[in-house]
Structure 1
Amino acid sequence: MEYVFPVHASNVDFHTTHAKYPATDIFADCGEPVVATTSGVVLEVSLTDEYVKGRPDGPLNGGRSVSLLGDDGVRYYGSHLQRVLSGIRAGVRVQAGQELGEVGHTGNANGVCHLHYGISPPCARTGDWKVRRGVIWPAPYLKSWRKKGGKSPVSEVAAWKSEHDCKA
């Protein structure tokens, strides 16, 4: 199984933690390419930014986003995209490293260009935003993939699913 760091940029950094739940923010300039972490099928795409500041947390927080079901059975989610590439839609097969969109600051990104990145099981496949946004810490995997390593989140995601029955 091939894994690829999800942002192609020379100036990119990420936090090892995230506020409120396990995920991370990958910081890069707006417009930098966001790519498929691994080969798989696109589950969900949000092409519009319908987030309204001040509303409670919900599925619109991510602004423009793409959710991918990897061939490894794990879901990979990226949001706050400036744009999603033409042709990227639910049901489309993509390859590891294929461009999906561009880093942006849509949704609740507070004007900061970054990719919100989450790893989770594909519980309901669509609509389960609390799980989709991330349930395991991505940092160990991102560190591996950044160095062209093959560290897989499959066992950690399976353990989380077994323990939590897909309830975030």
Structure 2
Amino acid sequence: MPSPLIRRARPAYPILLVLLAPLLVGGCATTRPGVPPGGAPTPPTVWATGDQPASPGPPPSSATPSGTAPARPAPTVGPPGAAPRAGLRHVFPVRADDVSYHPTHGVYPATDLFADCGEPFVAVTEGTVLEVSRTDRYSKRGPQGPDNGGLSVSLLGDDGVRYYGSHLSAVATGVDAGVRVRAGQQLGRVGRTGNANNVCHVHFGISPPCTGEDGWWIRRGVIWPARYLDSWRRGGNREPAAEVTAWQRRHGCPKAP
């Protein structure tokens, strides 16, 4: 059943995703209803100069890889001069009045956040931008996985968790690898790049910040985000750090999908 938090009635589509899953390894292929089918040096603290963060307010009013070829930061980025911090503020990643999502997603843990193209995609928490892709390199005839996300941004939160959003229509000015951002600050806009199947949404993944190689199969998501999204859109502050840390202790940083 769809999440009880979904405001809009939408046809159930998890069965379709399951049927298509063998063809969709590594990315999204969801259809919105009504639309056709360490030890490196720490970087200096530099704040993004693009769209400014919104003032704190209530999360969106309705609720329910993508990999890229990202621009990689020179150093391994972490919270500047500090260990991961607990108790950080977390916010819902799409700032819009009409957002929906479902707790399931294809063949790996992630969530697709459906909203109109152009709506703001924002930083879930305070942190440092890890990877940015401003070029859509996806091709249906090419490898399925590395470029599925189209335009994307990943953020290493000061909680030690990587948050990834892809299929964007644009990345905000000043949002580059190594730049510091605040919770609620705009990182880009909802779009349909990559393998978004012409449906406006953001693919949202949560993962550990494994570095050293492309790792799109980790960046796209390793734990289910829905219960955290449910909390954030209600104004809560449920933190995924413990679950991400537990996952990494079990799996490390896998070298292949």
Q: TM-score, normalised by structure 2?
A: 0.64
Given candidates 51, 59, 68, the residue that maps to 2:138 is: 51
Distance in structure 2 (CA, Å) of the matches to 1:64 and 1:129: 13
Question: Post-superposition shift, 1:122?
Answer: 0.3
Distance in structure 1 (CA, Å) of the matches to 2:224 and 2:209: 16
Instruction: For residue 48 of structure 1, give the secondary structure of its aligned residue in structure 2.
Output: coil
Mapped pair 1:87 → 2:174: yes
Does the C-alpha gap of structure 1 residues 125 and 24 become closer, same or farther in structure 2, counting only changes over 3 Å? farther
Aligned to 2:98: 11
Aligned to 2:210: 123
- Unmatched 5+ residue regions in structure 2? 1-87
| 1:42-73 Cα distance to aligned partner (Å, 9 max, x none) | 00000010100132322210000000000000
Mapped pair 1:148 → 2:223: no
Distance in structure 2 (CA, Å) of the matches to 1:7 and 1:77: 12
Letter in 1 for 2:106: A
The question of whether the paired residues in 2 share the 8 Å contact of 1:82 and 1:106 is answered with: yes
| 1:114-154 Cα distance to aligned partner (Å, 9 max, x none) | 00000000011662110000000000000000011010000
Letter in 1 for 2:219: R
Letter in 2 for 1:3: H
Once superposed, what is the RMSD of the aligned Cα atoms?
1.0
Which 10-residue stretch deviates more, 48-57 or 78-87?
Answer: 48-57
Higher strand share: 1
Mapped pair 1:110 → 2:197: yes
Letter in 2 for 1:37: V
Question: Which structure has the bigger radius of gyration?
Answer: 2
Aligned to 2:150: 63
Distance in structure 1 (CA, Å) of the matches to 2:159 and 2:200: 29
Instruction: For residue 143 of structure 1, give the secondary structure of its aligned residue in structure 2.
Output: helix
Distance in structure 1 (CA, Å) of the matches to 2:96 and 2:216: 27
Aligned to 1:36: 123
Distance in structure 2 (CA, Å) of the matches to 1:125 and 1:149: 34
Moved over 6 A (4+): none
The question of whether the paired residues in 2 share the 8 Å contact of 1:43 and 1:125 is answered with: no
- Unmatched 5+ residue regions in structure 1? none
Q: TM-score, normalised by structure 1?
A: 0.97
